[in-house]
A and B are shown apart, each in its own frame.
Chain A
């Protein structure tokens, strides 16, 4: 049996809740009050932006905080109406010479459901990167960040615009360039459809986009940055809209994709399924990009990749030291990467490797099929 997730949107309700379906994530009264308060702070200019970063969790957020408190030099958290407030302090070594910088601040861990929490932050970029973002990155596997393709990102933004009667204009688009291993930006102000298309034509996928939404009179109605990991940074407008129309939908899409990775290991090797990533541009014509793919997987924290065989096919041993999973990465033709579990606890590792490859190597059609089936 072959099942595939190709980046098409699962059916979901409109952002303003018109009854076409239940909202992807519930919003409690307390959370609604909190968002309205943030909205007021943005209007008054008390902060530049409000960032939301969703995490899929399999345990209470307090447990996650307890087990990951040492990612900071100092950390303390206290319960709040909507989850926890975390205060942190971290000494950051400079890249060149000079003394350490000491960063400190506070952010929220919002418990949305038992399976989803959102890190909410008013911190500036530097403190955000070394605070909530650092926690999010180091929380694996206790918490995972969702991943949506750029096609889904475009659809969610279009839906947000249509649902509110807005037009969407790209102010700053960032796409990952496989050749240079760097993000490249496009600051041209243009409709988001054109920005997405131009990125695709240049062989890149939009990872993050700052969007200005305008009403029918051309006035700025909303402004925020959105990324493929469901994160959003609201600069102008009610965070509730971004939470319901983007964050919640990204989480729903990831939950749909998670079904591909469940129950994957089979003790009977002839019945073993593999997760396959299929690339239309046939990148694996020689070993250069095979090596690059292996380097890409190493970007994920705790992932060990050892090349067992490279020419003409690629076989690599992937060990996820954060979960204990072992899997084989196989490239036996020009277009497909196969991930074959070697141990039983591979669900999170498969998910993570797939997301890392898609984020830093290139988006692909992800499917699940028997190892023996051709790509």
Chain B
């Protein structure tokens, strides 16, 4: 019995940690892309002391069915296509994705020179360089040369006194890791560019400053689908807040509760031009139903959901409450399972199976 209680507690704790990690990982990725955007804008955009060359930073590009994490266009002319992969796995889909960008992006942005920058955790930079180098060798003789691919490792330094920084370093393997184009983000001879900052220097520090955080707040998405908990907290609840009518707000102020009906289309529209797909939204609404934060409007097609807003719920720290609630529910379910038949959720999905859902 004691062993079963321990198993239940361990499993509940694992689920809670997994949800928090899902939230944290996606939030980190959003902050990272926002920091890169802020860094490019500060150095080569309107924040720069030199004439600006950055024309556009697109966080939601779609090119020939591919969705890299950003596409930065400069008037030198030059295009930098970026992909952020915290843990580059090889063999696997990461390599195929990067090689696909190197073929599809140049054609889409020609005649500008184009590079692919693959930002990977420093612990996987070596594997990334080896895999990409081998894949490039296999493309020799192809009718169209792929774009240069530069692997840049990043390491989050959260221990400095003055905040968080990302240390970026081009992986030092001159024969296997490609440098950036000779003329890239700046046309001014002698001024800092991607090669001088990322390749030649020991490392380049990009600060997570207020500008980057404000960007992350304004666009809390990257070009990958977010996990349900992040979608609920960061994407759907702000839309619910925005869509409350005056009558809703009067009810909330007077009686302490109200509900607002929203659909996936409402959420998609709210965040334009940022791109959010309906599949993760559907998963998030299902997640909300599970924890009594929303209920589906009967016979609605496409589906609509009544999001429940009450005074007590508003005061919750949602990003903590959701994992804890899921963990407690799992613990209750496991504890009430017949003795000897303790069923755990599938480890790969971490999804909690609740009867009736």
Contact = CB atoms under 8 A, between A and B. Distances in A.
Nearest to B251: A70
Nearest to A329: B217
B334 interface: no
B249 interface: yes
Interface residues of B, number: 43
A319 interface: yes
Q: What does DSSP make chain A's interface, helix, strand, loop or mixed?
A: mixed
A71 interface: yes
A338 B241 contact: no
Interface stretch (B8-16, B183-191, B204-212): B204-212
Interface string A323-352: 111111010110000101011000000000
B319 A324 contact: no
Interface string B145-185: 00000000000001000111000000000000000000000
B47 to A, nearest CB: 7
Contacts of B244: 321, 324
Interface stretch (B73-81, B104-112, B293-301, B309-317): B309-317
A269 B214 contact: yes
**Most chain B CB atoms below 10 A, which of A303, A315, A343:** A315
A1 to B, nearest CB: 17
Q: What does DSSP make chain B's interface, helix, strand, loop or mixed?
A: helix
A138 B241 contact: no
Contacts of A372: 47, 209-211
Interface in A339-375: 340, 342-343, 371-372
B253 interface: yes
Nearest to B211: A372
A303 B309 CA distance: 12
5 contacts: A270-B41, A301-B311, A317-B238, A321-B249, A323-B249
B160 to A, nearest CB: 8
B233 interface: yes
B318 A302 contact: no
Interface stretch (A18-26, A146-154, A304-312): A304-312
A317 B164 contact: no
A312 B233 contact: no
B234 interface: yes
Given A306-B319, A307-B319, A333-B163, 16 more contacts: A68-B253, A68-B254, A269-B215, A270-B45, A305-B317, A306-B237, A307-B317, A308-B234, A311-B158, A319-B314, A321-B249, A326-B238, A328-B217, A333-B162, A340-B210, A343-B242
